[in-house]
Structure 1
Amino acid sequence: MQKRMLASLVSLLLASSAMAQTSPAMLSDKPAKQPNVIIIMADDLGYGDLGAYGHPIVKTPNIDRLAQEGMRFTEYYAPAPLCSPSRAGLLTGRTPFRTGIRSWIPSGGKNVALGRNEKTIASYLKEQGYDTAMMGKLHLNAGANRTDQPQAKDMGFDYSLVNAAGFVTSDLDKVKERPRYGVVYPNGFYRNGKPIGTVNQISGELVSSEAIHWLDSRKEKKPFFLYVAFTEVHTPLASPQKYLDMYKDYMSDYERQHQDLFYADWADKPWRGAGEYYANISYLDEQVGKVLDKVKAMGEEDNTIILFTSDNGPVTREARKWYELNMAGETNGLRGRKDNLWEGGIRVPAIIKYGTHIKAGAVSDTPVTGLDILPTLADMLHFSLPTDRAIDGESIKPVLEEKPLTRHKPLIWTIDMPYQDDPTDMWAIREGDWKMIFDRNAKPKYLYNLKADAGEVNNQLGKQPALEKQLVADFTRYKNDIDNDSLMRARGEKPEPVDWN
């Protein structure tokens, strides 16, 4: 009897050991050493623009592999449908209207920038002993030469190579003859506050190379936070010839005859086809792969939390500005596009990988937002967030552990784009399956059940009185809290509408 009991105990211990080796490590366990954190941000990449999200043509093997090794989100939302406010929300965990950024920031334009009393993920992790760096598109001020506005170092980044505002500027901008031809090489990047001039690299390669160089050059073996914000697939599109050749069948005859025609000269020209856009996505994928391969080569793959996402929805074939012509972003059937509050403007691809700590190939349908990233990192890395400010996001660590998530307040989105002919709605909230969009006067305009109507075609406003009353009450309470934000008051700010006309 004793021998049988001993044999059974040994078998149980061996089985338990095997399970421990094959099951994901619990995220609640404090790691032996602090994990590294990498956030990779694409620019204007649509929900349907990747192979992992169902694009039937575009090849994205590196990002697809990341999805196979981590968790892919089907209902991840950017904090806003435009670049500057979305990036502010991600880095601070605060809805963008609180941060001083209500819309995109024109280069050299109005005195708009991230509030100096805001703290970013970089600031928090620096306090935890992390090395911090960012490469790519900052777009949280009106220019990297502005001494009156906070720069990357003021936002917690020890090292930076940034294109501070808006477009990837190019020497082709200065050429007076038209039509203009040539590869778009950027001239608007600053390294640690100093301009580097024109470089003979396309933006994506410049950014990925700088990220790898920084990882190689670190002398102390501290944990690191690396924010890699590619300018792809924002216009102007620029891709190596091998990727243009890969998608030549999706280019018009005119495009094949006029490659490297500068994007500013496209307005009066024929449709170029979707091939250039497809090429730029695959080029972006290659640069993402370089960063991922470097982390693996460093032996840090299992000890690095990696988020890949996009700042907002895509520029679809519905061009609204001259520099948006000939784009071909996909929303996978969702309504809308960049700059509006339909699902196509705010729902974006997102993948989180953390070595063996997150189940490989997991897919989550739980609604989450970029505002959740900061509190999630605080939860996973065991540091406290300050109590002197509102943090709108909530930790999604339960989701990463494939457990239910209970939210304590609605998801909320804000944007201020007052087009003269068609003003963009300003507010939206989501509670459960229900989403309500409000106009610029905070009046309810649309109500959708996203579970039954993901395409947002059946407006339920006026048909759900009890639900509407509750959503309006919750929104009003939330809006009042934002309008009276403590950090905004400390900066002496008044939330005035932005006039871009």
Structure 2
Amino acid sequence: MPSHAHDPINQNSSSISPLTRRAFGTAVGATAAAATIGPPAAAAQPAPPRSVEERPFRAARGRHARRPNILFILGDDLGWADLSSYGSPDIRTPHLDRLGRQGVRFTDAYSGSATCSPTRFSLYTGRYPGRTKGGLAEPIADRSVGLEPTHPTLASLLRGSGYATALIGKWHCGFLPDYSPTRSGWDEFFGNFGGALEYYSKLGGNGEYDLFEGDAEYKDLRYYTRILTERAGEYVRRDHDRPWLLNLNFTTPHWPWIADGDREASAEIVRRIKAGDRGALWHADGGSLEKYKEMVEDLDRSVGEVLKALKRSGQEQDTLVFFASDNGGERFSYNWPLSGNKGSLKEGGIRVPALLRWPARIDGHQVSDLPVFSPDWTATLLELGGARPDPAYPLDGTSLAGYLLRGEEPGERDLFWRVRGERALRRGEWKYYRGRGGADQLFRLTRDPREQADRSSAEPELLAGLRASWERTDAGLLPYPTGS
């Protein structure tokens, strides 16, 4: 194992929980300490085969680099198999597929929750959403709660270690005047505060305009994805004098189902919003598989434009780029072979595509089936950026720095989720799940990713152990408000 004594990235290595790849079929183990950092069933298809250019994950060794710039990109409601590299039969995503080939494609990555704002809480804080009042909203829909400015975040901690920080796109962690990215550690903010907006008019479901620069309205009635792509390109091309974090949060392919050029559909949605139809943005009477394909492929092109700007800036080698979805897919997503979708703790609601590239430190053409989730990325990026978590707010994620860079074996841990009416916990290949029907179920995901063969009767002791672990973690979280 090479020495890392003079590697600035490893200045906090003593705090790492060892992690490395194990085959998907082996157990990852017991709970980590909180302080560590499709088609119809009849047409069943296997998971996408591994490309001949992809190989099992192995850590990079013997390389040294400065602290990375961090470009963290989120799609919105993108399904696990909506990218070509994850098995989509119709959608073509060459830029995202290339990003995965140039680094690591994760097959078993999860969001921190099943809807938008709780996942963002888990990413920004590195903690379970249920540790904060704002994280209990699933999702945030009014001005009553948000991410408290006093809570340390990925941005505030990295800024404290010398990073420039910016958030472009969807915030969805509270509204003005009390909550804003600029109050939670981001030097700059350009984007929308709410969970959804009409792509041209920038009207939210309540009829209010929702495009801001900092805390001031910014008028631009062009297609929203174009605006965000342009802004992100401008940011990465700057002459930065220090490492930077850019959270680039697209709203694509979240409803309403409006692609670039769909002026007529836009006008109809705007008319309904102005007439007081609070469900207009949900667009229950719109969209199609073809329209969804158009939106996802537009997202792919947009990411490609930002990555091209990054390359032309000369910063590509020293920039860690991460792409994922904020939760599972929605109405038109392709999740095969997973069951469930957004809002559910079944696999289709929380398993997401995830791609990571850092040319200076991590080899390309790799696939990892290590189970990971949103809070892990917070812990990982803090360590890589030389930032220490606030001990008053211990992280629930585990840093993957040792896994990615030094081949360290993974520590034993569980992945935990809770939403109203559902609970889930993954330990290695096993998943404990209780849905709204109230029955405990147990699935062996390596053999049954579709969660159809309930093994609870065959493995009662394992089920009891996983249930007890879930309940221990739940006991330390805030309760949902009475009647919610």
TM-score after normalising by structure 1: 0.76
Q: 1:376 to 1:444 in 2, by over 3 A?
A: farther
User: Hey, what's the Cα distance between the residues in 1 that align with 2:392 and 2:266?
Assistant: 51
Q: 1:43 to 1:357 in 2, by over 3 A?
A: same
Residue 259 of structure 1: CA displacement?
Answer: 6.1
Residue 214 of structure 1: CA displacement?
Answer: 2.7
1:195 paired with 2:217, answer yes
Q: Is the 8 A contact 1:187 1:196 kept in 2?
A: no
Which one is further off, 224-233 or 203-212?
203-212
Q: Is the 8 A contact 1:73 1:363 kept in 2?
A: yes
Residue 106 of structure 1: CA displacement?
Answer: 4.6
1:75 paired with 2:108, answer yes
Cα deviation per residue 1:248-273 (whole Å; 9 max; x = unaligned)? xxxxxxxxxx866745499796x764
Output aligned runs, 1:220-369, within 5 Å: 220-241=240-261, 262=268, 264=280, 273-316=288-331, 328-369=332-373
Question: Considering only CA atoms, is the larger Rg found in Structure 1 or Structure 2?
Answer: 1
Q: Is the 8 A contact 1:98 1:482 kept in 2?
A: yes
| Counterpart pick for 2:461 among 466, 485, 492 | 466
Secondary structure, aligned partner of 1:287: helix
Secondary structure, aligned partner of 2:477: helix
Question: What residue in structure 1 maps to residue 446 of structure 2?
Answer: 451
Residue 172 of structure 1: CA displacement?
Answer: 6.4
Secondary structure, aligned partner of 2:352: coil
Letter in 1 for 2:425: I
Cα deviation per residue 1:192-213 (whole Å; 9 max; x = unaligned)? 110113x232111111111122
| Counterpart pick for 1:104 among 138, 152, 158 | 138
* 4+ runs deviating over 4 angstroms: 24-30, 170-174, 258-261, 265-269
Q: Is the 8 A contact 1:132 1:158 kept in 2?
A: yes
Residue 466 of structure 1: CA displacement?
Answer: 1.3
Cα deviation per residue 1:426-474 (whole Å; 9 max; x = unaligned)? 3211111111123579x66221111121110011223312112211221
Question: What residue in structure 1 maps to residue 52 of structure 2?
Answer: none
Q: Which has the higher contact order (CA 8 A, sep 6+)?
A: 2
1:156 paired with 2:156, answer no
1:431 paired with 2:413, answer no
Q: 1:461 to 1:207 in 2, by over 3 A?
A: same
Question: What residue in structure 2 maps to residue 133 of structure 1?
Answer: 166
| Counterpart pick for 1:383 among 387, 392, 404 | 387
Residue 286 of structure 1: CA displacement?
Answer: 1.2
Secondary structure, aligned partner of 1:482: coil
Secondary structure, aligned partner of 1:338: coil
Q: 1:382 to 1:237 in 2, by over 3 A?
A: same
Which ranges of structure 2 fall in alignment gaps of 5 or more residues?
Answer: 1-57, 270-279
User: Hey, what's the Cα distance between the residues in 1 that align with 2:433 and 2:250?
Assistant: 30
TM-score after normalising by structure 2: 0.79
User: Hey, what's the Cα distance between the residues in 2 that align with 1:65 and 1:268?
Assistant: 34
Q: CA RMSD in A?
A: 2.9
1:165 paired with 2:165, answer no
User: Hey, what's the Cα distance between the residues in 2 that align with 1:408 and 1:293?
Assistant: 39
Residue 50 of structure 1: CA displacement?
Answer: 0.7
Q: Is the 8 A contact 1:364 1:399 kept in 2?
A: no
User: Hey, what's the Cα distance between the residues in 1 that align with 2:388 and 2:116?
Assistant: 28
User: Hey, what's the Cα distance between the residues in 1 that align with 2:121 and 2:284?
Assistant: 35
Residue 410 of structure 1: CA displacement?
Answer: 0.9
Question: What residue in structure 2 maps to residue 206 of structure 1?
Answer: 227
Cα deviation per residue 1:337-393 (whole Å; 9 max; x = unaligned)? 000000000000000000142111100011111110111123323332222223111
1:407 paired with 2:411, answer yes
Letter in 2 for 1:200: L
User: Hey, what's the Cα distance between the residues in 2 that align with 1:458 and 1:226?
Assistant: 42
Residue 412 of structure 1: CA displacement?
Answer: 0.6
Q: 1:275 to 1:481 in 2, by over 3 A?
A: same
User: Hey, what's the Cα distance between the residues in 2 that align with 1:113 and 1:172?
Assistant: 25
Secondary structure, aligned partner of 1:52: helix
User: Hey, what's the Cα distance between the residues in 2 that align with 1:46 and 1:95?
Assistant: 22
Letter in 2 for 1:469: A
Q: 1:398 to 1:42 in 2, by over 3 A?
A: same
Q: Is the 8 A contact 1:103 1:415 kept in 2?
A: no
Q: 1:399 to 1:261 in 2, by over 3 A?
A: farther
When you count helix as a share of all residues, which structure comes out higher? 1
| Counterpart pick for 2:69 among 20, 25, 36 | 36
Question: What residue in structure 2 maps to residue 487 of structure 1?
Answer: none
Secondary structure, aligned partner of 1:394: coil
1:45 paired with 2:97, answer no
Letter in 2 for 1:294: A
1:87 paired with 2:120, answer yes
Q: 1:134 to 1:171 in 2, by over 3 A?
A: closer
Residue 216 of structure 1: CA displacement?
Answer: 3.9
Identity of paired residues, percent? 29
Cα deviation per residue 1:266-306 (whole Å; 9 max; x = unaligned)? 9796x764111000001111111111111111111110011
Letter in 2 for 1:235: W
Residue 401 of structure 1: CA displacement?
Answer: 4.2
Which one is further off, 220-229 or 271-280?
271-280
